[in-house]
Amino acid sequence: MNGDLAGELKVFAGRHSKALAKRVCDHMDVPLGDARTNAFPDGELFVKMEEDVRGRDCFVVISTCQPVNDNLMEVLIFTDCLRRASASRVTIVMPYYGYGRQDRKDEGRVPITAKLVANLITAARADRVMAIDLHAAQIQGFFDLPMDHLSATPVFLEYFEQIRDELGDLCLVSPDVGNVKVAEGLANLLGGDLAIINKQRISGSEVSVGNIIGSVKGKTVLMFDDMISTAGTICEAAQLVMDKGATKVYAAATHPVLVGMAMQRLAAAPIEKVIVTDTIPCDERCDPIRGKLVELSVGPLIGEAIQRIHHNKSVSALFRRTAAMKR
């Protein structure tokens, strides 16, 4: 990096995203910014910059994962703190965008909370937002400020190319219709067939997996999604493809939300490996599936994107060789 510009760049981290922010900073060879977040006994949060940020280009890495509302408030307070400390630009880096599944009115008298979150961040006077693999690409349009939607596909692609011989005769299976373009892109990049599973959501925690379109007999199945939440979909889909003659199953997802019965389901499911990224920390809660779990880091990807934004270079150039975004 140019020395003068490097001095203007600062990266800060929320309480639950420090490990990822450190990997981002290591990639850029810059120190993690000095700031602290304290929680008062009544639950209120307090953010303080412990160094000068006047005129600096500031990036704040906070995934709005569990505890979602605490992390969201930390995003807003961090933004306000940096604004009042005269930062020249504030970019909020949300590797995981919480409330992203509430992106439309699919029935009467329900909110569009993904848009509300965008409004809150805009009202806090952020200049720019960066996220990875949004649940729906349309969320980009919820922001009235620049929004960089990154794809974790290059991170997964590098890993799967390293173990391509191990995968053998490959079939990319989309666990739902909305993810078909991503699965198709990966099938083309890795050299494999494509199959689609028909899924129906019954409730927020329950899904029904129906038929499979395409053949998986005698093949290694790779299922890819933007997140694994309760793991109901991925585990039912894994059992379905095994019943249809698949030899083994790999499950990959950008965001390891992993709540509810997810650990028990994944531990018992006929899944060889669960490959995720560190957009959400895989801490001790993941111990029940540690033997199956592969955690890849998006730190270098975010670091490269931050450098490009800082130097006013193209971010989209990072994704010339990638699968399509989920719609």
Pairing of strands 220-228, 248-256: parallel
Determine the angle formed by the axes of helices 68-84 and 113-123, rounding to 10 degrees: 20
Q: Does residue 237 contact residue 228 with C-beta atoms inside 8 Å?
A: no
Catalytic residue among 10, 199, 248, 326: 199
Determine the Cα angle at 49 with ends 65 and 30, to 5°.
Answer: 80
Q: Does residue 49 contact residue 10 with C-beta atoms inside 8 Å?
A: no
Tokens 């991170």 sit at which residue? Answer: 155
CA 315 distance to own-chain centroid:
17
Q: Alpha helices of the chain — where are they, by DSSP H?
A: 3-6, 18-28, 68-84, 113-123, 153-162, 164-167, 180-190, 232-243, 262-268, 299-310
Based on the residue annotation, tell me whether 199 is a catalytic residue of this protein.
Answer: yes
CA contacts within 13 A on the Cβ side of 230: 11
Instruction: Report d(CA 251, CA 47) in Å as an integer.
Output: 38
Other beta carbons within 10 angstroms of residue 325's beta carbon come to: 19
Pairing of strands 57-61, 9-13: parallel
Instruction: Report d(CA 9, CA 89) in Å as an integer.
Output: 10
- Neighbouring-strand partners of residue 275: 252, 294
Q: Which residues are known to be catalytic?
A: 199
